[in-house]
């Protein structure tokens, strides 16, 4: 699909290549660390209210987990074929062409990545305010401060940033395991809460509608596991480590969601689930008494901080990859000679995210672009069919087993989600798509510059 050679896609002469400094543990932490955030506490409540049945609740988690593992196998092979920074942008660029890759990067650059960064930062500061009293203005200041702290750390040292991500991920998994163990060891709940196990409770949604709602909630709770592919150029032996990281990371997330959902049901009968916050507060009080709200706020703050560290590490690599391909300002592709990090790309993300924190508009922005983001997610999976048929990229050291079932299962799930999202919020879906398509003129500008630079470049000299 692309007219550019590998040399044409290289970064400007004064830039360097990022160093491969990250191992398997850091890559797994990027997967689990970004996926497990506040949703692990709030989502089970929404799913429990809709489904009204322990059996259907746990089954939805398991099914979505299995299909997500299929997605990890699909993206694992794509990562092995195209082991450079950029993730989905690279897969779309290589399989569907420059325009589709650019439109995905355009969406990430201007709205989605900064919006998610702002949302996580404000979420962290909001839960921290349960522990340290903060005014609304101070919450915004704290959110912006944590964004810039992580961004500066990311500029100065990728290994230290990855170390922070590993430790926050280990800490959050340890805390979740402690919650489960604490509840069971001290018999703080009742197994009778699971009876009836299959039958839906009064007040729940009709089963088909409930399954649709549960599917959407579960899928987005897993969201972000694919972002580890954005740092492919900085992972050692990415052809082997990235597929393993995605599979292990998704498996860890699946086990965590099933375990936490089960223990919440053990602590709180479904009949008492009135809202997400009430569910969490009730479970916290059963576990820790009157201090439950504060303890849970601290736990959630740790979980959100890990997710924020992951997205600050991974997201700027998309803008760097676009610039290296000539589809963004060349200066953004420059790597710092000492720190070996894409400084300008990191600063862009931090600046836009901080602006969104100040204006407070990030929640609406995220809602508008969820539909478009899922479209690109499905297209990237379809790209594996194209890559195999045309033998694109490197000869992969990892091939998705049982092909074509993994990409097919994942694409079917994404298609179902698009139908559900389109029916639920058609106006948001159309507006988000319109803004993404507004990137076409920008692509024409950068694409013209790229084609001009390719025409001006000297022809390669071949021996013989």
Confidence of residue 277 (pLDDT cuts 50, 70, 90): low
Indicate the pLDDT class of residue 283, thresholds 50, 70 and 90.
Answer: confident
Q: Does residue 152 fall inside a structural domain?
A: yes
Residue 237 CB contacts under 8 Å (≥ 6 apart), including other chains: none
314 belongs to a structural domain: yes
- Residue 284 in any domain: the answer is yes
Q: Which residue would you say has higher pLDDT here, 410 or 290?
A: 410
- 427 falls in which pLDDT band (50, 70, 90)? confident
Q: What is the pLDDT of residue 449?
A: 62
Percent of the chain with pLDDT over 90: 62
- Supply the mean pLDDT for the chain: 87
Q: Report d(CA 130, CA 19) in Å as an integer.
A: 40
CB 117 within 8 A of CB 312: yes
Structure letter (DSSP) for residue 178: H
Residue 100, strand partner residues: none
| CATH value at residue 332 | 1.20.1740.10
Instruction: Flag whether 457 is in a domain.
Output: no
Give the pLDDT of residue 362.
Answer: 75
Under DSSP, is residue 28 helix (H, G, I), strand (E, B) or coil?
helix
In this structure, what token pair is assigned to residue 30? 């990027």
Question: Is the separation of the CB atoms in 153 and 309 below 8 Å?
Answer: no
Inside any domain, residue 265: yes
Would the pLDDT of 108 be above 90? Answer: yes
Burial of residue 6, with CB atoms counted within 10 A of its CB: 0-12 exposed, 13-18 middle, 19 or more buried: exposed
Tokens standing for residue 293:
């709200």
- Give mean pLDDT, residues 3-31: 68
Please report, for residues 66, 163, 278, 349, the alpha-carbon distance to residue 157 in angstroms, rounded to integers and kept in the order given: 35, 10, 41, 17
The 10 Å Cβ neighbour count of residue 25 is 17
Instruction: Confirm whether 1 is domain-assigned.
Output: no
| DSSP 8-state assignment for residue 44 | H
The label of the residue with tokens 């024409």 reads 444
Residue 205 lies in a domain: yes
The answer on pLDDT for 426 being more than 70 is: yes
Dihedral Cα 443, 448, 451, 456, nearest 10 deg: -150
Domain range holding 387? 24-451
Task: Give CA–CA dist 65/215, Å, rounded.
Answer: 11
Strand partners, 22: 235
Total domains, the chain: 1
Token pair, residue 241, equals 């480590």
The pair of structure tokens assigned to 6 is 């590998």
pLDDT, residue 177, reads: 94
In a domain, 319, yes or no: yes
């Amino acid at each position: 699909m692309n007219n550019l050679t590998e040399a044409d896609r290289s970064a400007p002469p004064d830039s360097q290549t990022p160093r491969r400094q990250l191992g398997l543990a850091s890559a797994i932490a990027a997967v689990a660390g970004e996926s497990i955030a506040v949703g692990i506490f709030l989502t089970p409540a929404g799913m429990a209210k809709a489904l009204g049945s322990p059996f259907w609740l746990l089954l939805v988690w398991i099914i979505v987990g299995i299909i997500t593992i299929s997605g990890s196998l699909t993206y694992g092979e794509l990562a092995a074929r195209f082991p450079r920074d950029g993730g989905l942008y690279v897969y779309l660029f290589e399989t569907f062409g420059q325009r589709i890759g650019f439109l995905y990067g355009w969406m990430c650059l201007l709205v989605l990545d900064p919006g998610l960064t702002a949302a996580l930062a404000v979420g962290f500061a909001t839960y921290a305010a349960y522990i340290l009293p903060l005014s609304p203005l101070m919450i915004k200041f704290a959110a912006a401060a944590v964004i810039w702290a992580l961004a500066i750390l990311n500029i100065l040292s990728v290994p230290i940033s990855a170390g922070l991500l590993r430790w926050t991920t280990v800490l959050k998994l340890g805390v979740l395991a402690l919650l489960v163990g604490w509840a069971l060891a001290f018999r703080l709940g009742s197994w009778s809460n699971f009876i009836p196990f299959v039958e839906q409770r009064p007040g729940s949604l009709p089963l088909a509608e409930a399954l649709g709602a549960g599917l959407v909630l579960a899928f987005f709770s897993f969201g972000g596991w694919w972002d580890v592919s954005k740092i492919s150029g900085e992972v050692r032996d990415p052809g082997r480590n990235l597929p393993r990281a995605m599979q292990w990371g998704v498996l860890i997330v699946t086990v965590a969601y099933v375990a936490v959902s089960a223990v919440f049901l053990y602590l709180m009968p479904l009949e008492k689930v009135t809202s997400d916050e009430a569910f969490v507060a009730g479970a916290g009080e059963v576990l820790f008494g009157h201090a439950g709200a504060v303890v849970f706020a601290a736990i959630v703050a740790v979980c959100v901080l890990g997710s924020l560290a992951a997205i600050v590490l991974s997201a700027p690599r998309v803008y760097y990859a676009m610039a290296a391909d000539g589809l963004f300002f060349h200066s953004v592709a420059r790597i710092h000679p000492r720190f070996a990090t894409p400084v300008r790309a990191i600063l862009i993300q931090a600046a836009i995210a901080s602006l969104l924190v100040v204006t407070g508009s990030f929640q609406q922005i995220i809602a508008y672009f969820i539909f478009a983001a899922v479209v690109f997610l499905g297209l990237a999976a379809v790209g594996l069919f194209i890559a195999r048929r045309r033998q694109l990229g490197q000869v992969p050291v990892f091939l998705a087993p049982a092909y074509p079932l993994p990409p097919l299962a994942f694409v079917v799930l994404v298609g179902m989600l698009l139908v559900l999202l389109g029916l639920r919020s058609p106006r948001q879906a159309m507006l988000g798509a319109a803004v993404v398509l507004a990137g076409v003129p920008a692509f024409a500008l950068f694409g013209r510059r790229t084609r001009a630079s390719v025409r001006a470049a000297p022809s390669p000299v071949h021996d013989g």
